[in-house]
Amino acid sequence: MKLARDTWLVFQQEAGLMVRNPVMVAFSLAQPITYLVLFAPFLKVVMVDRGASSYADAYRIYVPGLFVAMGLFGGLFAGYGLLSALRAGIIDRCRVTPISRTALLLGRALMHVCLNVVQAVVVTLVALPFGLRVHLANLLVSYALLGVMVLLSTSISYDIALLVRNENSLGVLVNTVGQPISLLAGVLIPLVLAPMWIQRVALWNPFAWATDGMRALFAGQIVQTVVWQGALIMVGLAAASLLWSSHLFNREVS
């Protein structure tokens, strides 16, 4: 109960800071909306042999992949904020309070989850005029899956940040790891168009399973095995990564 209360307090503080900076929130939507408007229509031609006979089909294929890209990169850069808070002494000042140290980390992570889900809602609304249609229940499940993905990528970013403790090194590692993971997840173009060896390598990428599950949800196939498989993989990895992040964080501020 104390952990939940403390997490909520930290989340409120971080969310308040985010709300007071609407320009940053608006600019963070620029890239996903640009890809939505300028890249997604290409899939109508590329995927015509795979059943994408209209722009609505193209957006139904692309938007789930865009969600995964947002969940991956939206969390991987969260480590910058943690390093900034550590250097500014914010974490040290919180140490003298009775607030849980784990809550200091979890509340920040949940702020990133909230931000990315809000961005996903905006992207969904922008895609509606282009023909995107998805059942509400499936859409809500996809938002929940996105939230778990953000939690995983955020905790990974915290892990890296607490290990390297340097913004430059963090940026290099995040870009080095993030790009191949996103490409092997098929966030831009479905992996069914990739060579067989790439599809086999992608089987080891947990975000590829999440992408397949997300696309199944948008296709109205909520009962497909790949949906719960992707969800279980994300939940398991997020829990493990959060535990490791908490261990590193508690050691850092002890």
Confidence (pLDDT) at 210: 93
Q: What is the mean pLDDT of residues 77-94?
A: 76
Model confidence band, residue 233 (pLDDT cutoffs 50, 70, 90): very high
122-135 pLDDT tens trace:
999 999 998 888 89
CA dihedral defined by 75, 70, 72, 105, rounded to 10 degrees? 20
Confidence (pLDDT) at 149: 94
C-alpha span between 33 and 27 (Å, rounded) = 10
Domain that holds residue 24: 1-253
Tokens standing for residue 51: 């059943």
Confidence (pLDDT) at 144: 94
State the pTM of this model: 0.89
Model confidence band, residue 238 (pLDDT cutoffs 50, 70, 90): very high
- Name the least confident of 91-95, 101-105, 189-193, 194-198: 91-95
Average pLDDT, the chain: 84
153-207 pLDDT tens trace:
999 988 888 888 888 888 888 888 888 898 898 888 888 888 899 889 989 999 9
Q: How many structural domains comprise the chain?
A: 1
Confidence (pLDDT) at 42: 77
Model confidence band, residue 96 (pLDDT cutoffs 50, 70, 90): low
- Name the least confident of 86-95, 208-217, 233-242: 86-95
C-alpha span between 8 and 241 (Å, rounded) = 20
More confident residue, 54 or 243: 243
| Residues sharing a CB contact under 8 Å with residue 229, sequence separation 6 or more, in sequence order | 209, 213
